[in-house]
Structure 1
Amino acid sequence: MNLKILNYELSVCKINNISEINFNDELFFLGKTDQELSLVCNTKFVPQKCISCENGWKALRIEGELDFSLIGIISKISTLLAINEIGIFVVSTFNTDYILVKSDSLDKTVSVLEKEGYIF
């Protein structure tokens, strides 16, 4: 399976409302539940009035469009990374999945996954 490291410095934020989101940002993910409003965005576009924010994330994209019938892709990757004590934050879109790791864990992440046959 092919993975691509995206060239963005990302932040994971809890925000109050969407009025400060830069909707022209190349990459952002917005999630809303009955308990919170979360945003993953380029660090340079973090809203000024965040409730909480965690900087220093890098994203790996699973290349290609993933069919909904495919099972266990995130499970396998997350298990490999958990065994190696690498924390993750996962975001999915209609086409594919994104695995975020802390920037200081990126080299170790790549090494672990390459040993298991993943191609970057």
Structure 2
Amino acid sequence: MDTSPSAGGHSAKPNSGIVKDTRRLGDAVVVDLAGDVDALAARELTAAVAAALEHRPRTIVVDLSKVDFLTSPGLAALVESHQMAGQDTRLRIVATGSATLRRLTITGLTDELAVFPTLEEALTA
């Protein structure tokens, strides 16, 4: 069975690390994260975005709504993911609360990254 994002399946096993799920929704790929985004998890995030980019989606949404702690390497991974997406793919971030949105705001990254309060808004913007 093909479980790649382009087949509409899941490419990450639940509870396999910080990336809890990667799925295709229409012409977007959603990368769901949960837990603490530390240095190790940041590498997992950029690897998941790189894998999603291989399928050339119009949009990649990184959903941080279940993230408990976002470290500096996690913020750097979001910037790197934005750079990897380039001009052809829109990278959107779902972030709420002090664990994620506050960190993105105080670092000024909300001015550089497309940040949304919900997955629905990130997909329809």
Q: Which has the larger radius of gyration?
A: 1
Structure 1 length normalisation: TM-score? Answer: 0.29
Larger fraction in helix: 2
TM, length-normalised to structure 2: 0.29
Which of structures 1 and 2 has the larger relative contact order (alpha carbons within 8 angstroms, sep 6+)? 1
